[in-house]
Structure formats: structure tokens, C-alpha cells
């Protein structure tokens, strides 16, 4: 099994810059996002990752590739659709202003509770379960460092689930900024894991204008 898991959010996209809900829209990194991925990769490569797993969406794929390309030991790069971002249904592609104009009651419900099934928003619990299941499967298959490249909400819910909490009821973990990462290690006491760092990034590197919408 792996000695540590690094949860790494993708670099910036134009939707991040514009404050739009991305969800499962397959938007690529912008120029800033590419630079972020390359800079962060230079730090993460020092951990000598053995395997890199990533969402099948382009922004995560490009971020993961920036790291895989400079791993001298030839880290294995695998794609898994279970690491896709949380689906935000009717809200995807819209800014806060547009959401308030078009879906005011549902938008308020979502911001107040984190859930809105009537708008087609995937539940936190479902996201946490699929991400955690994927990560733990890969954790058992490798030695050394496992890097998980995914999305703001997906990573948040997955981390919460692995830490033995309910993503639906416990919402105390801040979402990662673009190209920032968190580290989880196995631990002898319950819940069997310890979060040893959260939302780390490259000093002085521009991030998104808004934190992840978890």
C-alpha cells in the first residue's frame, strides 16, 4: 500500500477566472493554469510519486501530465472517471449573477445547504463515496506516494469520506485553490488516516479569484 496520498486540484481555467460553476463541463486549462501546473509539478516531483491517477476531464488530465512528464522514475499515469468533478446540473457554466437571475430559489437552497437535487446537483455523499472508493483501491495497489489529480468539490468530499466523516452532514473542510494540494497518511488510530497538510501551493503563484465551490 502507499505511504501517502497527495490530493491535487487542477490548474486554473477561464471558468475559474470568471467565477463560473464548472462541474463536469470539460473546459481546458488557460495559460495561467498551465503555468500553475508546471510550477506545482516541480514541487510534487520531489515526493517521487509512483502512480498518478486523474479525472478524465481535460483540466485534470493536463495538470497530471505536467507532473508525469518530469518524473524521472516514470510514474504510472492512469485516468479514472470516478474522479470527475461533482455534477452541478442546471448550474454548470453559470456565474453567481446568472444563477440568481435564473434559478434564485434553488440557488439559495444550494448555497444554504450545499445540496439541490431539483437542479440536478449530485449529492455530496455520492461524490464522496465514488472518489473515496477510487482512491482507496489505488492506495492498496502501490508503494510510495500516490498522487490524485481531481477537482475542488470532488477532492473535498473524497477527503471527508476517507477521514470517516459524512460529506452530507460535515462541511468543515475548505475546498482547495487551483493547483494546491493536501496530504493524507495512514495512521494507527481511528479513523486510520491523518491529514498532515491542506491547501498547500507554490509561494507567489497566482491562484483563482475564488476558492473552490465545494
Indicate which residues carry an active-site annotation.
10, 85
Residues 6+ apart with CB under 8 A from 102: 94
Alpha-carbon distance of 177 to 171, in angstroms, equals 17
DSSP state of 209: S
What H or E segment, with its residue span, contains residue 195? strand 193-200
Cell of 48: 517521487
What H or E segment, with its residue span, contains residue 20? none
Q: Is 191 exposed, middle or buried (0-12, 13-18, 19+ CB in 10 A)?
A: exposed
Amino acid at each position: 500500500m502507499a505511504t501517502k496520498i497527495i490530493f491535487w486540484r487542477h490548474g486554473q481555467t477561464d471558468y475559474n477566472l470568471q467565477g463560473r460553476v464548472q462541474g463536469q463541463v470539460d473546459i481546458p486549462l488557460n495559460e495561467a493554469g498551465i503555468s500553475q501546473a508546471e510550477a506545482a509539478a516541480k514541487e510534487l516531483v520531489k515526493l517521487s510519486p509512483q502512480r498518478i491517477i486523474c479525472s478524465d476531464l481535460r483540466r485534470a488530465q493536463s495538470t497530471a501530465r505536467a507532473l508525469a512528464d518530469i518524473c524521472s522514475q516514470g510514474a504510472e499515469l492512469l485516468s479514472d472517471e470516478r474522479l470527475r468533478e461533482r455534477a452541478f446540473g442546471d448550474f454548470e457554466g453559470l456565474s453567481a449573477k446568472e444563477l440568481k437571475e435564473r434559478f434564485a430559489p434553488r440557488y439559495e437552497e444550494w448555497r444554504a445547504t450545499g445540496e439541490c437535487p431539483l437542479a440536478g446537483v449530485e449529492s455530496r455523499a455520492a461524490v464522496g463515496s465514488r472518489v473515496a472508493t477510487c482512491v482507496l483501491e489505488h492506495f492498496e495497489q502501490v508503494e510510495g506516494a500516490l498522487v490524485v489529480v481531481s477537482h475542488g468539490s470532488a477532492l473535498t468530499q473524497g477527503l471527508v469520506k476517507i477521514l470517516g466523516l459524512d460529506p452530507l452532514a460535515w462541511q468543515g473542510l475548505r475546498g482547495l485553490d487551483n493547483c494546491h494540494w493536501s496530504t493524507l497518511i495512514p495512521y494507527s488510530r481511528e479513523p486510520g488516516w491523518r491529514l498532515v497538510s491542506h491547501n498547500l501551493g507554490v509561494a507567489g503563484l497566482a491562484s483563482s479569484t475564488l476558492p473552490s465551490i465545494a
